[in-house]
Amino acid sequence: MDYLSIDVGGTFIKYSLVDRSGNLLSVNKIPAPATLDEFLAEIFQLICNFRDDIKGVGFSLPGKIDTQKGIIYHGGSLEYLHELPLKELVEKEFGIPCALSNDGKAAALAELWLGNLKEVENGAAVVLGTGVGGGLILNGQLFQGSHFQAGELSFLINYVEANKDEPLIGEHSSAVGFVIKGSKILGLDEPDGERVFVALEHEDQPELLALFEGYCQIIARMVINLQATLDLSRIVIGGGISTQNRLIEEINRQYADLRKKHRLLGTTFEPLEIMACHFRSEANLLGAIYQLFLQLDNE
């Protein structure tokens, strides 16, 4: 028998059967419901559809996740998830084990299990999307923190001046925000990330290039701050924008440039590795199931 993984996002709910080796057997999606009642109805129906073929369910979800009690707090754009004891509801209804994981931490778990953080003692996954999510791998394990909020990189302060509109990293370093701003520079009617990166490669767009380099420099500064705080050896970059090789190359360039400009950085710290996540859109599905396996192994 296999396991059911469910990745809850603000726009879609993705789901797939996963075997014990981490093979995704089928990936599908449905629109994210607008209300709590609709959400529970959809989730329960999904589990019903696979009930005879599964031994457990793993969820990747937005917000702060109490992984021990299985309760969701502050569900991102899905505000109706706040204080939902989803683990208890699923286990009571179906009699199978259930585990919950924050979406950023799920991405880190997937990389730790089978991806580019495998066998990395101290590393991190940085997920660039609407905000900046992440997960910290310390001493070979996912670090949850005192309140299950370690790795919430969106809340790092970029600057504190009262006249600044975007004081937090999540506001200033949103991949979605970068694409919107870049699309406006190109005069596009709708945000188009692919078109923005094509223009960076093939067109003379100094304003767009300056925006892109500034965006990557902010991420590189965040990487350096994580390194100085946690002495990491590798950081993997996730999110849809991470499929663009130009992004990873520029973050590395900005990181190297900052080390050169600030002599103590170069002489005090060993350079860490910055690369893309091995798993792209599938990371949360795999990480949610790995969280379930960790839970089962500890019981």
Q: Dump pLDDT digits (tens) for 246-267.
A: 999 999 999 999 999 999 998 9
Q: For residue 127, what are the CA distances in angstroms to 15, 42, 282, 283, 286?
A: 20, 27, 13, 11, 15
Taking only the tens place, the pLDDT of each residue in 36-46 is 999 999 999 99
Residue 160 has pLDDT above 80, yes or no: no
Instruction: Pick the closest to residue 28 from 5, 3, 60 (CA basis).
Output: 5
Instruction: Report the CATH superfamily, name and number, of domain 119-276.
Output: ATPase, nucleotide binding domain (3.30.420.40)
Q: Between vectors from CA 290 to CA 286 and to CA 135, what angle results, nearest 5°?
A: 80
Same fold, 2-106+281-298 and 119-276: yes
Domain ranges, ordered by start, for the chain: 2-106+281-298, 119-276
Taking only the tens place, the pLDDT of each residue in 98-114 is 999 999 999 999 999 99
pTM: 0.90
Taking only the tens place, the pLDDT of each residue in 15-37 is 999 999 999 998 999 999 999 99
Token digits of residue 56 = 């457990």
SS3 (DSSP) at 282: coil
pLDDT, residue 162, reads 46
CATH tag, 2-106+281-298: 3.30.420.40
Residue 159 has pLDDT above 70, yes or no: no
pLDDT, residue 26, reads 87
Query: 3 pairs with which residues across the strands?
Result: 18
